[in-house]
Each structure stands twice: as C-alpha cells, then as structure tokens.
Amino acid sequence: MKPNRTVIEAGRTEKNYWQDLWHFRELFYILSWRDVKVRYKQTVLGAAWAIIRPLLTTIIFTVVFSRVAKLPAPGSAPYAIMVFAGMLPWQFFASALSEASNSLIGNANLVSKVYFPRMIIPASSIFTSLVDFAISFLLLLCMMAFYQVMPDIKIMLLPVFILLALAAALGVGLYVTALNVKYRDVRYVIPFVVQLGLYLTPIGFSSSIVPEKWRLWYALNPMVGIVDGFRWCILNEPMNWTALAISTSVILLFLLIGIFYFRKTERGFADNI
Amino acid sequence: MSDTVIRVENLSKRFIISHEEREPYKSLRDVMVRKTKKWIGLNKQKPHLTHEEFWALKDLNFEIKQGDRVGIIGRNGAGKSTLLKILSRITEPTQGRITIDGRVASLLEVGTGFHPELTGRENIFLNGAILGMSRAEIRAKFDEIVAFAEVEKFLDTPVKRYSSGMYVRLAFAVAAHLEPEILIVDEVLAVGDAQFQKKCLGKMEDVSKNEGRTVLFVSHDLNAVHKLCSVGVLLNNGSIYYAGAINKVIESYVSHSKNISSNYVRIGTGEIQLIDIIFLNENGVELTELSTEQAVVVKMKCKANRSMKGVQFAVCFNNIHNSRITSLWTAFKGISFDVNEGIFSLIFTIDRLGLIPGDYQILSHINCGDILIEKIDNFKFITVSHAIFSIEYAVPTLSQGVYLENFHVTLE
C-alpha cells in the first residue's frame, strides 16, 4: 500500500471523509478568511453593519417591550442590556443560518469543479458570522460600561454558550444548506423563519415571564436555552436548568440530523447544483 | 506493476434524466403540494414520472503508467468530462473502481478558484488551498508561481481587473507548481496567447519527463495533444474506442469522425439527394482536416432524380456549441443552377478559410425557391486546426471571435 493511495468506488467517500476534512482544514481557514475579507470590502459601512443592526433592533425592542408593553425585567440590569444580551446570540444564529444556506449555491463553480469535503463551505460561512458576533460583543461591553453594569464572574462560562450557539447554527445550517441545493425555494423560507424566530425567542422579553407550566415546552426552541444562558452569564439572571437541558438536547439532535442529512445528500451536490 | 499510477476497472457512471420537471430545479413548494395531495387522497392520477437512464461512461478499463502524458480525446458528450470528474473525485462512479497512487490536481477552468475581489497574491493562496496545498507549500513556491505567470506588477490588484490571459496564466501557474503526482488539464489552454500556450505545454512536458509526473490532458486541439502526449485514449459514447500510442489514437479519431454521423436524417421533398461533401486542397488532394487560412475546395456531390430548374445549394458550418458560423449558399452569389437527372458535383472554392481551429459540424441544404428539397443537419464533422504553431503566431480562439477576418496590417 503506497502512502498516497486513493481508491474511488461507489460509496467509498464515506470511509475517509473525516480524515479528508482534517486534511483540508487549511481550506477552511482560507475560505473563512476570504468570506470575511470580501464581506467587508466594497461595503460603505463595512464592519459598522455588525453594530448598527443589533443596536437599532435593541432600541426598538426596548421601547416596544419595556416602555409600551411594560414588561418586567427580572434582574437588576437595565432593560436595554437585557435585550442586547439576547440579541447577540440570536443575531449570530440568524446570520449564520442565512449565510450558510446560500453558501453552496454561491460556490457552485467550486463544488462542480474541485473535490473537497463540502462541509467546509457552510462551516466557513458560519465563521464569518462569528466575526460579526465578536464585534457586537465589544459593543455589549461598551454598553455595560455606559450603564455601569458589572459583569458577573460567570461571564467566564460564556464560551460554553457560544459553542452551543455555534452547534445550533451548524446543525440547522447544514440541514438547510443541503436542502437548498435540492429545493431552491428554501432560501425564501429562511428570512421568514428568522423573522418569526425573533419573536418566538425571548429577546425583547425575559423567558421568566413565560408561565411556569409552558417553560419546558418553550425550551424546545433551542435558542431559548442559549439566550437564557447568555443572560445568566452576563447579567446573573436566574437559570432554569431543566429548560437548558432540553434546549441542549434539541441542539445536539439537530446537529446530528444536520450532519447526517448533509452527508447523505453531499454525494449528489456536484450533479444537482 | 509498480509503475501503474491509475488503474480504472469496470468504471461506469449513470445519470438519471427525469422528464417530469420542466424547471431546472425542484422547488420545495411543488414537492409539498404533491405530498399533501397524496396524503389527503386528492391526487387521483399519478404524476407522469418518466426516468431515463443515461450511461455517460460504460465499463471503462485502462491503466496509466507513471510519467505518461495521456491525451483524452473524443467528441462532445463522449464522456471525457465525466471521466475527469470522477478521477478528481467530484462525482462518484455508479459502478467500478479506480485506484490512484499519488496526489491528483486538476487545472481548473479559468478563474474557478479565484475570487474577483481578492488580489492576485490572495488568490494564489486561495487557489492553492482549493487544490489542496498547505500555506507553507504555497509560500515556498510563491515566487516561482508569480514568475511563471508573469504577473509581478499586478500582484496587489484585484483579479477582476486582470485580462483573461493573466487569469489563465495565474491559474495554470498555481496548478503546475502544486507538484501533484498526477496533473489533470481540461481544455484550458484555449485561452491565453500562443506564447503562453507553448510555455504551458513545455512546462507539462517538463514535469512529466524530468520529474516523472503523470499528465492527463483533454483537448479538442489535436495539434496540442499531438505535441504533448505520448499515449492517448479515444472515447466514444462512454466507452473506449481506441487506446494506445498517440499517433494511432489521433488517426483513429480523425477517420472515426469522418463516418461518425452516418445516421443523419434527411428532410425535404428529396428530388435531389446529397451523396457526399469532401474537402480538397488546391492540388486536388482530399483533406481529412482543414487548417485556418488555408485554400480549400469544397466538393458537394449530389444525385438528382429528375431534371430541375433554379436550384440553390448550401454547405453550412456549425461550431461545437452548435452556433452557425458560416454558410456557403449559392444564393449569396445570386446563382441558381439548372440540373439534369443524374450525378453532379458543386465546387465551392475558398481562397482562405476563415474558420478558427476547432471541430465543426457540416450541414447541407438544397432548395428551389421556397421549396425545401433536402436538408441534413448533421452530415459529418470536420476538424479545423492551425497550420502554424510558433511563437510569432497567435492561435485564434473563441475568446477572440468565432471567425478570422482576412486582413493585412502595415505601419505608416
């Protein structure tokens, strides 16, 4: 057996897929870097978009939910900070989902001309959203300084929830990406789902206002656990651990389904795209 | 046995063509509507699904030895691209097995791995990574790549401002310096000037002769294939028609092309029938291949079942993209002929052929006023090559136009 031997057979790609994925990791870095670079090139406001969008939404949500609807905030932090802490992971999830769902179609020429594990493309596009997330996170720190809110020591646990958000985006993203190659109208559904999710997820309000008997059902929305986790870390809001466990299980389930479906359909991408 | 780098065994690839959908892609909405209808029992009639199997490749078997320069030729749709796609692992075969020893890199179509917004420098790294190179490897080869591509001055310019020639040069340079054990080159040299084409051919020859690498080369340009390759594979309808020394393969391709479309369809009233169209040089010798800018005599041999008056004849040329390039129609000269029953020939004289190198389909057309007597859409194929292949002469390609004007140029 020679070192660089490749065997091509029907159904064979299964076997060395994960090995290939590791082998092509440099491609992942460079595609992520390309997406980030291209994203901020040729836009007037560039990185400012990552600030303006969540900031404006936060202001509107604060006015509507706090001033007009007069919903209570459970913690001691100002309402705006609570909204923004929820907006952060949601914005990340939403943009990762939209970026990922179009990524394969956008790179159709690559997919039909070169071999590499296709998972790299949606994964690297999700990475772009992570950069936006980092910029927005800096804004959160500025806002907290402005309102003179001291973050809790639990903020050290935030990476756990960022990872959870990443897993959620990747799971749903992979599924939707694969679906989009086959059915091109999926991309029209995504913005609608994202818009709906904005209200189904506790962003403008705290999940503590949801009646206790519905809390666990509510946690079936995976973003509920993540948003609650962010607020728990940053603002020391009370945490419903059962709800978090449910959200986490849903996320992991989605991740498994996403990977499985992506792998199943991946073989046909070059023929279908 | 040890020097076999690619072994293909019983390779087949099937495509399923579904005739149900007219749209280029399925929409989720349609599928959902259909499923729901089926579910609530509304869908009485079954959807008219007709699947047709199409074997792009059928039972291919061959071996390629290390250091071989293999030309893969065949008409459009013969399965060349599918074979390359399977070899570069883009699609999976339906049946069969390929064993490859060594790293495979494909020279991509112009700009496939490039992002127009990024600079030349950035694109070298991007393209290298797409081809499977590590950053360290690219860095080590960077200067060599830049020098080969001759783009030093434009390294920090976004490639969207590059000329198409610069684009290909850069793409080729990256792929050629990848140092793959096996390099796949698919029809890319059509772009770029003759000098660079020559340089590329030279580089490919160099990597295979001096470094023992294997090159797979697909092209319609028989001249280039002949210059570069040592062995060849001729594909026809998904199977190997002939494999062996390159001279034999090209010969077989040319003679095969001559009588390939013997199953053409004749349309029209049929009082006059085409027997053959042949090409001769000025000395009356029959040509199997034409050259751009050559003097050519086209002889159209016909048989009339009865005498007719005012008949017009045409010989037309379509290129491989099925675009009509030119027609030699007697009506353009205001001429129609009165023909007697029996066999006769029309002689069209071309002082200088304006067709650029490539494969052409020959069509014939005979009419009498508004009456179509006979029309054949796929009579035969003819290859036009370029007689002069040297540094001073650029080879005209589709990117410069479909037709070569007869011109002279002087400096005043």
Would you state the pLDDT for residue B275? 87
Name the least confident of B23-27, B165-169, B174-178.
Answer: B23-27
- B182 and B228: one domain? yes
Range of the domain at B393: 266-411
Ranked by mean pLDDT, the top range of A31-40, B110-119, B214-223, B250-259 is: A31-40
Does residue A112 belong to the interface with chain B, where contact is any CB pair within 8 Å? yes
Q: What are phi and psi of B274, to 5 degrees?
A: -75, 135
- B-chain CB neighbours of A180 within 8 Å are none
Work out the pLDDT band at A161, boundaries 50, 70, 90: very high
Residue in B with minimal Cα distance to A121: B130
Q: How buried is B239 (Cβ within 10 angstroms: 0-12 exposed, 13-18 middle, 19+ buried)?
A: middle
Does residue A14 belong to the interface with chain B, where contact is any CB pair within 8 Å? no
- B102 and B175: one domain? yes
pLDDT reading at B19 higher than 70? no
Does residue A109 belong to the interface with chain B, where contact is any CB pair within 8 Å? yes
User: What does the pLDDT average to over B22-45?
Assistant: 65
- B67 and B205: one domain? yes
Work out the pLDDT band at B302, boundaries 50, 70, 90: very high
Kindly report the nearest CA distance between residue B107 and chain A, in angstroms. 10
Ranked by mean pLDDT, the top range of A113-122, A251-260, B18-27, B170-179 is: A251-260
- B-chain CB neighbours of A114 within 8 Å are 88, 90, 106, 108, 112-113, 130-131
3 state SS for chain A: CCCCEEEEECCHHHCCHHHHHHHCHHHHHHHHHHHHHHHHCCCCCHHHHHHHHHHHHHHHHHHHHHHHCCCCCCCCCCHHHHHHHHHHHHHHHHHHHHHHHHHHHHCHHHHCCCCCCCCHHHHHHHHHHHHHHHHHHHHHHHHHHHCCCCCCHHHHHHHHHHHHHHHHHHHHHHHHHHHHHHECCHHHHHHHHHHHHHHHCCCCCCHHHCCHHHHHHHCCCHHHHHHHHHHHHHHCCCCCHHHHHHHHHHHHHHHHHHHHHHHHHHCCHHHHC
Would you state the pLDDT for residue B191? 55
CB contact under 8 A, A185 and B27: yes
Percent of chain B with pLDDT over 90: 12
Would you state the pLDDT for residue B21? 47
CB contact under 8 A, A30 and B101: no
pLDDT in tens, B50-102: 667 788 888 889 889 888 889 988 876 788 888 888 888 888 888 888 888 88
Which of B258, B277, B299 is the endpoint of a domain?
B258
Would you state the pLDDT for residue B192? 57
Work out the pLDDT band at A17, boundaries 50, 70, 90: confident
Work out the pLDDT band at B329, boundaries 50, 70, 90: very high
CB contact under 8 A, B117 and A4: no
Average pLDDT, chain A: 84
pLDDT reading at A81 higher than 60? yes
Of residues B44 and B337, the one with the higher pLDDT is: B337
Query: Is the residue at B384 inside a domain?
Result: yes
Query: Is the residue at B42 inside a domain?
Result: no
DSSP H/E element including B257: helix B246-258
Would you state the pLDDT for residue B330? 92
Read off the CATH number of the domain in which B95 is found. Answer: 3.40.50.300
Would you state the pLDDT for residue B1? 42
Would you state the pLDDT for residue A198? 87
- B247 and B321: one domain? no
Would you state the pLDDT for residue A1? 42
Which of B222, B238, B258 is the endpoint of a domain?
B258
Partner residues linked to B104 by β-bridges: B182
User: What does the pLDDT average to over B254-275?
Assistant: 74
Would you state the pLDDT for residue B171? 81
What are the CA-CA distances from residue B198 to residues A28, A255, B165, B172, B259 (Å)? 35, 51, 13, 12, 32
Query: Is the residue at B20 inside a domain?
Result: no
User: What does the pLDDT average to over A140-160?
Assistant: 86
- B276 and B217: one domain? no
- B271 and B307: one domain? yes
Residue in A with minimal Cα distance to B118: A38
- B332 and B273: one domain? yes
Length in residues, chain B? 412
Would you state the pLDDT for residue A253? 95
What is d(CA B118, CA B128) in angstroms, rounded to the nearest whole number?
14
CB contact under 8 A, A30 and B129: yes
What is d(CA A261, CA B3) in angstroms, rounded to the nearest whole number?
40
Which of B258, B274, B295 is the endpoint of a domain?
B258
Question: Which residues between 208 and 227 in chain A have a beta carbon less than 8 angstroms from any beta carbon of chain B?
Answer: none
- B295 and B241: one domain? no
CB contact under 8 A, B126 and A115: no
- B-chain CB neighbours of A267 within 8 Å are 91-92
Would you state the pLDDT for residue A252? 95
User: What does the pLDDT average to over A127-131?
Assistant: 87
pLDDT reading at B327 higher than 90? yes
CB A126 within 8 A of CB A96: yes
Work out the pLDDT band at B181, boundaries 50, 70, 90: confident
Average pLDDT, chain B: 81
Would you state the pLDDT for residue B184? 85
Query: Is the residue at B401 inside a domain?
Result: yes
pLDDT reading at B185 higher than 90? no
Question: Where are chain A's structural domains?
Answer: 30-272
User: What does the pLDDT average to over B233-249?
Assistant: 86
Would you state the pLDDT for residue A42? 62
Backbone CA torsion sign across B146, B151, B156, B161: negative
- B-chain CB neighbours of A8 within 8 Å are 86-87, 89, 92-93, 97-100
Name the least confident of A8-22, A230-244, B163-177.
Answer: A8-22
Percent of chain A with pLDDT over 90: 16
Does residue A25 belong to the interface with chain B, where contact is any CB pair within 8 Å? no
Q: What is the DSSP string of B150-184?
A: T-GGGTTSBGGGS-HHHHHHHHHHHHHTT--SEEE
User: What does the pLDDT average to over A247-252?
Assistant: 94
- B-chain CB neighbours of A110 within 8 Å are 112-113, 130
Distance of CA B10 to the CA centre of its chain: 25
pLDDT reading at B44 higher than 60? no
Name the least confident of A228-232, B24-28, B181-185.
Answer: B24-28
User: What does the pLDDT average to over B210-236?
Assistant: 83
Ranked by mean pLDDT, the top range of A18-22, A173-177, B40-44, B398-402 is: A173-177
User: What does the pLDDT average to over A13-26?
Assistant: 77
Query: Is the residue at B25 inside a domain?
Result: no
pLDDT reading at B221 higher than 60? yes
- B159 and B72: one domain? yes
- B195 and B276: one domain? no
**Which residue from B15, B93, B125 is facing A8, i.e. has the nearest CB?**
B93
- B-chain CB neighbours of A16 within 8 Å are none
- B277 and B143: one domain? no
User: What does the pLDDT average to over A9-14?
Assistant: 66
Residue in A with minimal Cα distance to B122: A34
Would you state the pLDDT for residue B91? 82
Would you state the pLDDT for residue A15? 66
Would you state the pLDDT for residue B50? 61
Total number of domains in chain B? 2
What is d(CA B301, CA B347) in angstroms, rounded to the nearest whole number?
9
Q: Which two tokens stand for residue B18?
A: 């579904």
CB contact under 8 A, B100 and A182: no
CB A40 within 8 A of CB A131: no
- B150 and B232: one domain? yes
